[in-house]
Amino acid sequence: MLAGEIRKGVTFEFEGNVYRVVDFMHVKPGKGSAFVRTTLKNVMTGKNLERTFNPTEKLDEAQVTVEEMQFLYESGDNYVFMNTENYEQKELTKEQIEDTLPYLKDNMLVKVLSYKGTIFGVEPPTFVELEVTYTEPGIKGSTATGTTKPATVETGATFQVPIFVEIGDKIRIDTRTGSYMERV
């Protein structure tokens, strides 16, 4: 894989470590050659690294194992997931799944990612439906302005939503960007 093909979520081996792309930007300056600016997360240590690559630089894609599992419940500081085929259960720490926590609901199917047997992340579905548990009431007549307000959902996370969303509404959130999509 070439560095110019980097996308968010791609996992690759680099300098003896395995990294997952958290964020990236293809930059084409007026003078000089293009480059790719990335924020990488070391899947073993969890530490972030800022790194710039030449788009033609070759990177070795890591062999990541993806296992579909169901989130069962929270047990203290751990989260219990079950393989839906063999019913094997795994407990993951908050650090292993911190990016997924705002979207995680009981019985939700997720993808558990591991590298050489070490779990490093959990991917939620692309879109999740969450119920709004708290938000300020909208101001009458301000619906056409595109104004947003914060809304707390059943998982405890807060998202920006349009002014017309009320407590009890179900909303669809894009987990890739963390943004409101629509009312369900």
The pLDDT assigned to 127 comes to 94
Whether 64-123 and 127-183 share one fold: the answer is yes
Candidates 2.40.50.140, 3.40.1440.10, 1.20.1260.10, 3.40.50.300; correct CATH number of 64-123?
2.40.50.140
- Output the pLDDT for position 145: 66
By CB atoms closer than 10 A (0-12, 13-18, 19+), residue 49 is middle
Mean residue pLDDT across the chain: 88
Residue pLDDT, tens place only, 108-150: 999 998 888 888 888 899 999 999 999 988 766 555 567 889 9
- What is the per-residue pLDDT for 161? 92
Q: Cβ-count burial of 151 within 10 angstroms (0-12 exposed, 13-18 middle, 19+ buried)?
A: buried
State the architecture of 3-61 in CATH terms: Roll (2.30)
Class of domain 127-183: mainly beta
Alpha helix stretches (DSSP H) within 50-145: 94-97
What is the per-residue pLDDT for 71? 94
User: DSSP label at 3?
Assistant: G
**How far apart are alpha carbons 39 and 8 in whole angstroms?**
9
What integer pLDDT is reported at residue 29 of this predicted model?
A: 86
Distance (Å, rounded) from C-alpha 21 to C-alpha 39?
6
pLDDT band at 62 (very low <50, low <70, confident <90, very high): confident
Strand partners, 159: 151
pTM for the model: 0.76
For the segment 6-31, the average pLDDT, to the nearest whole number, is 87
Radius of gyration of the chain (CA): 19
pLDDT bin (cut points 50, 70, 90) of residue 63 is confident
Question: How far apart, in whole angstroms, are the C-alpha atoms of residue 21 and residue 112?
Answer: 16
Average pLDDT over residues 84-112: 90
Residues 76 and 91: beta-carbon distance below 8 Å: no
User: Domain boundaries in the chain?
Assistant: 3-61, 64-123, 127-183
